[in-house]
Amino acid sequence: MVRIINNRKKVELSMGFQMDEETLANAMSDKPKPKNLRYKSLLSHWQAIIEDLKIDLVRQHKSDMDVKEIKGIVSSAIFGEQVTVEQTEPSGQFVSWFCKFADTHNSPNTRTRKDYYHTLSKLKSFDPQLASLGFADITVGWLEDFDKFLSSTCKLNSRNHHLRNIRAVFKYALRHDLDIRNPFDRMRLKTEQTEKRSLTIEELREVFTMEVLPYAEIYRDMFKLSFMLIGINPVDLFRLKNISSHGRVDYRRAKTHKPYSIKVEPEALDIIRKYKGSENLLMLNERWKLPESFGAATNKALRTLGAKPAARGRKRSNNAKFSELTMYWARQLKSSCFIIQRC
């Protein structure tokens, strides 16, 4: 028998072949007896087929397929006959389409695909049987239960973000002529106003001039440079290549692909020269492998600017004045007059 286990479900497929335990153990050993060599060959052939199928399912993003469907695929590959599975809607269709839609955002310059798979991981945590669900199983009640599940760890807007990702999958399936009902037609997503993340001119001037520990200097300088380049985000800052002959940085934003051309003021040029890179405009890729790593490290450091060091033997507490500060705040200030350093 071949036992197939996936997502805590199992089925068995009879191979139509019998042998005693001793013969089986010997046939599967590294040194089978001559009389068991033909069994060894047959078992190795079956194992090779099954291993290839496992690899193919992963490559095709079908590793969450229902075990009954996998049983049919294995039977077809080994015996040339398909085991039929009676169902009105293919099992696992929701996850299959979810992955298919997520993979349409597979550009190397976007994090959208990772974002959709993050939502998928939340869905799997909520419903262990997710892999066997079809679109018809994703009802308004199911979505409301998912929202309650998220409420213990996520704020309202974060929960809505995951729900909007699910809604996008439904719309994608409908655009491809799948005959399904969209539960979001009967469900309204509530939102809450987020707190404005910005600094006053006086606060910004304080961040620019405050005394910081040596390790934090580069992070504060990158915050300043982001502001001076009209709020450029960490990913694009990480990938800047050069300054044009006209004294501008030209780039296409990774997320939206919108082109930008920004004048480099003298104060920004000083920071660029301080952290000049050998390949890129800045040396950031020489210190961090990924722009996400650089962004995370910068945000972590910015939240501790100005914090007093803890006494020896005591746990450090974040008593920084701007404990919520991140690179995103520099983007909210991009419309301010660039007179901070010059006044």
Is residue 210 pLDDT above 90, yes or no?
A: no
Q: Specify the pLDDT at position 31.
A: 84
Q: How many CB atoms lie within 10 A of CB 38?
A: 11
Half-sphere exposure (Cβ direction) of 174: Cα atoms closer than 13 Å? 13
For strand 9-13 and strand 2-6, is the pairing parallel, antiparallel, or unpaired? antiparallel
For strand 248-252 and strand 2-6, is the pairing parallel, antiparallel, or unpaired? unpaired
Q: Specify the pLDDT at position 126.
A: 94
Residues contacting residue 283 through CB under 8 Å, at least 6 positions apart: 275, 276, 277
Give pLDDT tens digits for 8-18: 777 887 777 67
Give pLDDT tens digits for 41-89: 778 877 888 888 888 777 777 767 787 888 888 888 777 654 444 444 4
- Burial (CB count within 10 angstroms: exposed 0-12, middle 13-18, buried 19+), residue 104: exposed
Give pLDDT tens digits for 237-262: 999 999 998 999 999 988 778 899 99
Q: How many CB atoms lie within 10 A of CB 327?
A: 21
**DSSP code at position 276:** B
Least confident of 194-198, 272-276, 328-332: 194-198
Average pLDDT over residues 280-301: 91
Average pLDDT over residues 283-297: 91
